[in-house]
Amino acid sequence: MELRDIAWMRVQWKRFQRVLGGATGVVWLMCCSGIILMGNQEEVQWFWARMSLLFMLASSTAVSLWLFYTAWREMRRLKALAADLRVAQLQAEREKKKRHRGRRKPHDTAPLEPPPVQP
């Protein structure tokens, strides 16, 4: 997996959280407004409708909290994975530099020969 893929997935999870927040807000608004508007009706006739709206409000809250937690946990895992990948890339670059640099050639250290004798 590349760093670019991890960044893309993190952006998608953040987008998912924003959409989830908007959808949860709309569900809360609809359920609360339905419960409030039905409050003026006869008590016995609309009891089950109010209870179903209340159940939908509670269940949607629980599901949205679980989804927010799951998205947060996945983004945290991706962040750690990206950090590990960056560290591995930096170590690979350092090793490459070390291998590329290699050992320096020593100056001419060949044993000195005595000069030739001239007759």
pLDDT confidence of residue 96: 85
109 in a structural domain: no
Quote the number of domains for the chain. 1
pTM: 0.68
pLDDT confidence of residue 44: 73
Convert the pLDDT of each residue in 74-104 to its tens digit: 999 999 999 999 999 999 888 888 777 655 5
83 in a structural domain: yes
Give the pair of three-digit tokens for residue 108.
Answer: 């001419």
pLDDT confidence of residue 40: 67
97 in a structural domain: no
71 in a structural domain: yes
Alpha carbon separation from 73 to 44, 46, 48, 49, 67 (Å, rounded): 44, 41, 37, 36, 10
Q: Which domain holds residue 33?
A: 3-87
67 in a structural domain: yes
Distance CA 37, CA 44 (A): 15
34 in a structural domain: yes
